[in-house]
Amino acid sequence: MNARLRNRFIKLPLSSTPRWIIILIDLTLCALALAIAYFVRFDVYSDEMTIEREWKLLKGVLPIIFSVKLVVFFLFKIHKGLVRHTSLEDVRRIFFAVLTSSFFIMAAGWIRHFYWDGRFLLPTSVLLVDFLASLMLLIGFRFTVKIYHYELNKPTKKEVKNILIYGAGVSGLITKRTIEKDFQMPTKVVGFIDDNKKLSGNRLEGVDIYHTAKIKQLINKLEVDELILAIQHPKKKNTSRIVDICLHYDVNVQRVPSFKKWINGEFSSKQIRKVNIDDLLGRDPIDLDIAKIKNEINDKVILVTGAAGSIGSGIVRQVVAYNPRKVIILDQAESDLYDFQNELIGNEQNESVELVIGDVRNYHRMYRLFEKFKPEMVFHAAAYKHVPLMEENPSEAISTNVLGTKHLVDLSHEFNVVKFVMISTDKAVNPTNVMGASKRIAEIYAQAKNKLSETQFVTTRFGNVLGSNGSVIPLFKRQIDRGGPITVTHEEVTRFFMTIPEACQLVLEAGAMGNGGEIFVFDMGESVKIIDLAKRMIRLSGLEIGKDIQIKITGLRPGEKLYEELLANEENTKPTHHPQILIALNREAEEACISNIDELLNLFDGQNNESMVRQMKKIVPEYVSNNSIYAKLDKK
């Protein structure tokens, strides 16, 4: 019998069964239980005279007994549950319904005995056996139907998908139970794997637990079709290794969402999703100095620029958790700011938030903002960041990244802001493009101003952020969705990556520990080859490289490096109390830098790109253009 016929067969008698038929079956089973009770009372043997006498006594009280059971069963709604999906809750309801009906029958018997004719409705022994027999028959009937339904809908062996679950903890156990009770998933859990060696060799609900070191052998031995990541907070290195092995052996990889995303606290098999690249490139959770961060932010007025962007919005999400008096969300992107406002309202995080549409390049607008709100701490994330676009538009890079920063730095000094935290980039180290050089100039200005101000100017510097607007991950996803090709600029190009929450957490931590003048460098882990990233994303999409999706090498873009650095050659670092945050021991910003930067900004009127870039190279001597028309300006 094929699956379609089985489904049609099973749905007719079970899913369409009227409730009154279930009630009738329950009362019939109760009648059978009463008969069993009398058989037990007379040791399954009795003469005709005894049977006639007992029946004469019983037939007069049968309407009372079945009326009591009918009313109690109806009140407890034991007929409402879907029989084929009987659960422990249904068993509990049946138990109390049978117990209650037996209690009422016994109570009615006492009333009859003491106030009427001295007889009980049922002998005590019959009442006790009837209770036990009714309970077993009612529950047994339901579980028999459930097993019958399961067997009829059970897929054939060829249809079954062998599942290996990574994680033998609570989440793994819940995952096993969830997928096993979903009849629409033709699956079989063939094993658990776990990083804990002590669990290896044990069994969980009859399924063997193995150590993750045996993953390769298990894939072949157990004929694994799919691996489900069911660890809520897995170690990223272990997860990445296991996923790579699975992809190599064409094993599909899925993952269970975090507890927070379970619907009404319950997990459904429909929530299992494909693993994405963000799950593999991030790192283990960051330990933060919560007390220090809270002390910096609690009951303070906080300004976040570029707040509708990836990093800016991430900082806002983190900041609102520390009870600020007010958070001013500043951005010029109206639509993005509107969407972010709706998100905050949906999360009930909008009470202390003030949205401001404005451009950091507009000094008068920024002055009025500082004058009205008087921020005590500023997180400056507003910037232009796309290397090729800024290479073609140096004036815009300078206008936003340098002039915009200068406005905010000067106003922070004027309005006695306690701390100013600037978000910089690894492209500011030994810059090879206009964008990186503009960010380095912004760093220099903030450092120089720190010497002249009571405000503490702190810089944070990190690499690419996974999933941020315009980053390579969303680009690759769109290219895969279109069927390719995926474009990679060079086979050897590498980049550092971290997740948005990770980057924002480190920004808050660095901001809290900074005393002014520091450039904090984040430990970005190991760099990733972009072409390897593309290959991984193709395999995670269930596609084949070269067959379903092509990878096209397009050549380095103007100003682009093969690899990024977090520290310049002249710089060293010193550690902080946080293992993932270092302080760059960079050269001191000279006071002459401020006048050089002012001179750069005065070049706007002429709109001469070469003049502006030449001045940038004067301010940042290590800025050497790469694959750019401005390479001719470098000293040979």
In DSSP terms, 317 is beta-bridged to none
**Are residues 204 and 176 in contact, defined by beta-carbon separation less than 8 angstroms?**
yes
Catalytic residue IDs: 427
Strands (DSSP E) found in 352-395:
353-357, 377-380
How would DSSP label each residue in 26-87?
Answer: HHHHHHHHHHHHHHHHTTT---HHHHHHHHHHHTTTHHHHHHHHHHHHHHHTTTTS-GGG--
3-state helix, strand, coil in the chain (%, to 5): 50, 15, 35
Estimate the crossing angle of helix 592-602 against helix 434-450, to 10 degrees. 140
Q: Measured between alpha carbons, how far is 526 from 564 in angstroms, rounded to an integer?
A: 11
In DSSP terms, 359 is beta-bridged to none
| Alpha-carbon distance values, 99 to 62, 64, 67, 69, 95 (Å) | 18, 16, 15, 10, 6
Q: Measured between alpha carbons, how far is 394 from 557 in angstroms, rounded to an integer?
A: 15
Q: Which of 185, 165, 186, 184 is nearest to 176 (CA)?
A: 165
How many CB atoms within 10 Å of residue 379? 30
Q: Which of 376, 334, 328 is nearest to 353 (CA)?
A: 328
What are the tokens at 548?
């379903």
How many CB atoms within 10 Å of residue 340? 22
Estimate the crossing angle of helix 434-450 against helix 405-414, to 10 degrees. 10
| ω into 285 cis (within 30 of 0) | no
Q: What are phi and psi of 218, to 5 degrees?
A: -65, -35
In DSSP terms, 583 is beta-bridged to 520, 574
Q: Which of 375, 374, 450, 434 is nearest to 402 (CA)?
A: 434
Q: What are phi and psi of 598, to 5 degrees?
A: -60, -40
Strands 464-466 and 187-194: unpaired
**Are residues 611 and 545 in contact, defined by beta-carbon separation less than 8 angstroms?**
no
Q: How many residues does the chain have?
A: 636
How would DSSP label each residue in 576-601?
Answer: -SSTTEEEEEPPPPPTHHHHHHHHHH
In DSSP terms, 191 is beta-bridged to 164
Q: Measured between alpha carbons, how far is 459 from 520 in angstroms, rounded to an integer?
A: 6
**Are residues 498 and 460 in contact, defined by beta-carbon separation less than 8 angstroms?**
no
| Alpha-carbon distance values, 473 to 7, 56, 195, 495 (Å) | 42, 83, 29, 12
Strands (DSSP E) found in 545-626:
551-553, 572-575, 581-585
What are the tokens at 594?
């401020």
Q: Measured between alpha carbons, how far is 456 from 617 in angstroms, rounded to an integer?
A: 27
477 burial type by CB count under 10 A (0-12 exposed, 13-18 middle, 19+ buried): middle
